[in-house]
Amino acid sequence: MIEKIKAHIEDVKAFSTSKLEELEAFKNKFLSKKSGILNDFFKEFKNVPVEGKKEFGQVINNLKNSVEEKFAELKEKIEAQNEKKVELDLSLPGENINLGSQHPITVVRREMLDIFEKIGFVTIDSPEIDDDFHNFTALNFPPEHPARDMQDTFFVEKNPDVVLRTHTSNGQIRFMENHKPPFKVVIPGRTYRNEDISARSHFMFHQIEGLYVDENVSFIDLKQTLLYFAKEFFGPKTKVRFRPSYFPFTEPSAEMDVTCSICGGEGCNVCKYTGWLEILGSGMVDPNVLENVGIDSKKYSGYAFGMGIERIVMLKYGVKDIRYFFENDMRFLSQFENL
């Protein structure tokens, strides 16, 4: 019996083919669980005397290993030969490769910054991770202000003094600490708030902050600046209106609305049939904020404003769900390829 198995091993070593069908038949001949030669030898194993079982088992394993090695060797050669036979067909259509484009938030961010840079504002950066002083205290947030609570702010490593900035206003403080008036700056960047994600809100969003400090800066200067921006961005027929509001770091404070760019102020579902859309918060820099960074509030005054970029994009292009900006869905993003 052992000599018969060894003869099969020699047959396996001598076997050769260039066809996958023959190779599969060769494998099944030996390794098929129903009709394979090895299966028959394993059945005979129980009839082998005890003293011969070890040698018999070794020879069977040698046959099994020889078949598997031969199969792998020939399969690799056949597949390699088949690949070489494939010729390039120049008549076939090319691959449809989707080209990338700038994200709508990036496009609109650049457009907004260009408008402010035309009237003397300088673009600066500020850190996304900051301390309590720059994000809250210096901006006139009292210790008990609800924005300090966990439901609104992301704290870093459970450290109550290190947070993901909740607004780009922290950039105001860092800039004013190291520069003397006059100055006009805009501060773009990502901000974070611990909010539920929905069609109109997200835990991460982008803002542009504006700050102007000089002698004799008034609310009229603020209104003229924002009116200029609205007409440049939304069109020359755009109108604005200011509504009294409250922010800890400005006094007086106001929110600004623009006439709906979708319906032209006539009223539609986007503006809730009011003809107006809120786009930003603004106000005169609170004297306490100036004093906190070493600027004489009796000599200097200033204004500040902040707006969400996603909000502006949604208004300009009629996007109704803020989540689209973060899902990388090509069906959505491809609509902005020509911006």
Span 13-45, pLDDT tens digits: 888 888 888 888 888 887 777 777 777 767 776
Name the CA dihedral angle for 161, 165, 171, 177, rounded to a multiple of 10 degrees.
Answer: 0
**Do both 209 and 75 map to the same domain?**
no
Are residues 264 and 185 both part of a single domain?
A: yes
Number of domains in the chain: 2
Lowest-pLDDT choice from 51-60, 91-100, 187-196: 51-60
Burial of 267 (0-12, 13-18, 19+ CB in 10 A): middle
15 and 118 both lie in a single domain: no
Q: Measured between alpha carbons, how far is 291 from 182 in angstroms, rounded to an integer?
A: 15
Is residue 96 in some structural domain? no
Residue 90 forms part of a structural domain: no
Claim to verify: residue 59 and residue 153 sit in the same structural domain: no
75 and 200 fall within a common domain: no
Is the previous residue joined to 182 through a cis bond, with omega within 30 degrees of 0?
yes
Q: What pLDDT, in 10s, does the model give residues 222-263? A: 999 999 999 999 889 889 999 999 999 999 999 999 988 777
**271 shares its domain with 146:** yes
For residue 183, is it within any domain? yes
Does the pLDDT of residue 141 top 80, yes or no? yes
Residues 286 and 144 in one domain: yes
Measured CA distances, 173 to 134, 178, 207, 329 (Å): 6, 9, 16, 37
85: left (phi over 0), alpha (psi -120 to 50) or beta: alpha
Tokens 């996304």 locate to 128
- Give a yes or no: residue 29 inside a domain: yes
Q: Quickly state the pLDDT bin for 134 (edges 50, 70, 90).
A: very high
In total, the chain counts a number of residues equal to 339
Domain limits at 184? 104-336
Is residue 108 domain-shared with residue 249, that is, in the same domain? yes
pTM of the complete model? 0.68
Look at residues 163, 171, 162, 181 and name the one whose alpha carbon lies nearest to residue 139: 171
